[in-house]
Amino acid sequence: MNEAISNIWRRPLRTALTILGIVIGVFALTVMGALAEKLNVLVDGGDEYFRTRLFVFDAGAASGFQASARPITRSLVDRIEEIDGVERATPVLQTRLDPDEVGGFDIPELLTGIEPETWYDARIDLRVDAGRFLEADEDGVTVIGADLAERYELRTGDTFEIRGHDFEVIGVLERTLTFPDKIAYVPLRDAQQIYVESVPEAFQERTEDLATQIEVFPDDLGQADAVAEAIGAELDGVRVVTPDEVADQIGQASIVFNLIIVGASVIAVIVGGLSVINTMVMSVSERVREIGIKKAVGAPTSAILREFMFEAILLGAIGGLLGLGAGALLVVVLNAQTAGSGTSVFLLTPMLLLRSFLFATILGALAGIYPALRAARLDPVAALRST
C-alpha cells in the first residue's frame, strides 16, 4: 500500500492530471445520474398511480394527463359506471395551485379536488404522516404533500391560503418523492368554487358539475383497453387515456435522461480511462530497470502485476472519491437553491453513490491491465541493460 502510494506520486503533476481526468468523468456521471434518479423516481411513482385507472377528458383537452384547462361535466360519471367492465368512476378537478407560477423541470404544485369516498384506491400507497385523510361531506379542509408542507412551513391545524380561500390542514402525507408530494387535496366542491372563479365568465356549466377529468377504475386492469374503447363508443366528445398511454407519455423523458447517463459514462470512460492508461504506461517505461532488479532478485511475475494493477486501482479510487464529492456537493447546492420554490431537481441515492465510486475503481483496474501486463512480462536481463 505505502509503496503504491509512493509510486503514483513520483510524478505529482502527471498523477494530479490523471486523477483530474477521472474526477471530470465521475463528476459528470454523479450530477447527471442524480438528475436521472430524480426523474426515474417520478416516473415510477407516476406509473404506480396511473396504472390503476383510466382517464376521461374532454375531447378538446390538451394531450397531457394532468391539470387540464378544459373542463368536463361530472354528470358523465353515472353514464360511465353503467358501462360493462367499470367498477366505479370518480370526478376529479385538478388545476395549478398557483396559476401564475411558471412550470419547470419538476412536477408543478397542484390543487386537486376529489370525492374521497370514490377516489381513494387501496392499491396506491398514500400514507398520512400526520393527521388524517379527507372524509366525505367535508369542506374547507386540505391534505397536503410533504413538499408543500416544507415549502409553506405548514403542519396539521395550520391554515393554508389557496387562491384567496382558507383551508385547515388536517393531514400531511408521507414523502413519496413523486406526484403526491406537490399536491393539495381538497373536497371537490371547494376546488370547483376556486376553479369557476378562474374560468371565463362565458362558461355556463354549473359549478357543482365541474371536473377536469373523470378517473375510471376497471373491474379488471387487464381489460383496460377494452373498457376505454367502450367508453369512447358510448360517449361523444371525450378522450380516454389508458394506463399504457400514460406510461408511454411519462416514460419518454426517462428514456432521454437514461441515454444522457450512458453519454456521461462514455465521457468518463474516454477521459478517465485514457488518462490512467497513459500514466501507467509512462510509469512502466520510467521504471524498467527497477522492474528488472525486482525480477532478478526473485520477485514473481504475479507480484509485479499486482503492484501495477493496485496503482491503477488506487488512481481510479482517488479520482472516484474526489469526483463523487464534487458532484454530490454541486447537487446539494443546486437543490438548496431551488428548495425555496418547492422544487428538488436532483436526487442522490446510496446506490448512485456506490455505482459512481465502483465505476471509477473498476475503470482504473481495466485501464491498468495493459500497462501491468507489459511490466510483468519484461525480460529481467533486457530491463537491467536499459538506460
Strand partners, 171: 131, 143
Both 193 and 120 in one domain: the answer is yes
Strand pairing report for 86-96 and 213-218? antiparallel
Indicate the range of 144-153, 189-198, 259-268 predicted with least confidence.
Answer: 259-268
Expressed in angstroms, the distance from the first to the final Cα of the chain is 28
Q: What gap in Å lies between CA 36 and CA 24, rounded to an integer?
A: 18
> What pLDDT does 138 receive?
93
For residue 202, what pLDDT band results from cuts at 50, 70 and 90? very low
Instruction: Give the Cα separation of 257 and 263 in Å (integer).
Output: 10
Domain membership flag for residue 55? no
Helices vs strands, H then E, count in the chain: 13, 12
205 burial type by CB count under 10 A (0-12 exposed, 13-18 middle, 19+ buried): middle
Distance, in Å, from the CA atom of 211 to the CA atom of 170, rounded to the nearest integer, reads 23
The answer to whether 64 touches 91, Cβ cutoff 8 Å, is no
In this structure, the answer to whether residues 290 and 156 fall within a common structural domain is: no
Name the band, by pLDDT with cuts 50, 70 and 90, for residue 267. confident
**Domain for residue 312, yes or no?**
yes
Using pLDDT thresholds of 50, 70 and 90, give the confidence band for residue 322.
very high
Exposed / middle / buried, residue 29 (Cβ in 10 Å: 0-12, 13-18, 19+): buried
Are 225 and 98 in a shared domain?
A: yes
Of 115-124, 243-252, 377-386, least confident by mean pLDDT is 377-386
What is the rounded CA–CA span in Å between residue 19 and residue 25?
10
Tens of pLDDT, residue by residue over 224-247, are 889 999 999 999 889 998 887 776
Residue 343 lies in a domain: yes
Examine the domain organization and report whether 301 and 338 are in the same domain. yes
Domain end (from 236, 270, 302): 236
Q: Could you identify the residue written with the cell 390503476? A: 52
Question: For the whole model, what pTM was predicted?
Answer: 0.67
The number of domains in the chain is 2
Please state, for a pLDDT cut of 90, what percent of the chain lies above it: 27
pLDDT digits (tens, 9 = 90+) for 125-153: 778 989 999 999 899 999 999 889 988 99
Does residue 313 sit in the same domain as residue 371?
yes
Residue that is last in its domain, among 236, 262, 287: 236
- 146 is a domain residue: yes
Are 20 and 66 in the same domain? no
- Among the residue ranges 44-53, 76-85, 309-318, the one predicted with the least confidence is 44-53
Range in 12-21, 233-242, 326-335, 349-358 with the lowest mean pLDDT: 12-21
Residues 217, 279: one domain? no
Whether residue 120 is found in the same domain as residue 38: no
Write out the H or E segment, with its range, that includes residue 340.
Answer: none
* 196 and 291 part of one domain: no
Say if 242 falls within a structural domain. no
Question: Same structural domain for residues 375 and 329?
Answer: yes
Give me the sign of the Cα torsion angle 185, 191, 194, 195: positive
Same domain, 11 and 140: no
Exposed, middle or buried: residue 286 (CB in 10 Å: 0-12, 13-18, 19+)? exposed
Cell of 198: 378562474
Domain that holds residue 190: 60-236
Do residues 315 and 8 lie in contact, with contact meaning Cβ atoms separated by under 8 Å?
yes
Contacts by 198-201 with C-beta closer than 8 Å and gap 24+?
198/95, 198/99, 198/163, 199/71
CA distance 205 to 153: 36
Residue 375 has pLDDT above 80, yes or no: no
Does 48 map to a domain? no
- 278 falls within a domain: yes
Among residues 209, 236, 263, the one where a domain terminates is 236
**What is the Cα Rg of the chain in Å?**
30
Q: In terms of pLDDT, which residue wins out, 349 or 247?
A: 349
Note whether residue 21 is domain-resident.
Answer: yes
Say if residue 337 is in the same domain as residue 272.
Answer: yes
From residue 332, give the alpha-carbon distance in Å to each of 148, 236, 339: 20, 50, 10
Give the model's pLDDT for residue 5: 66
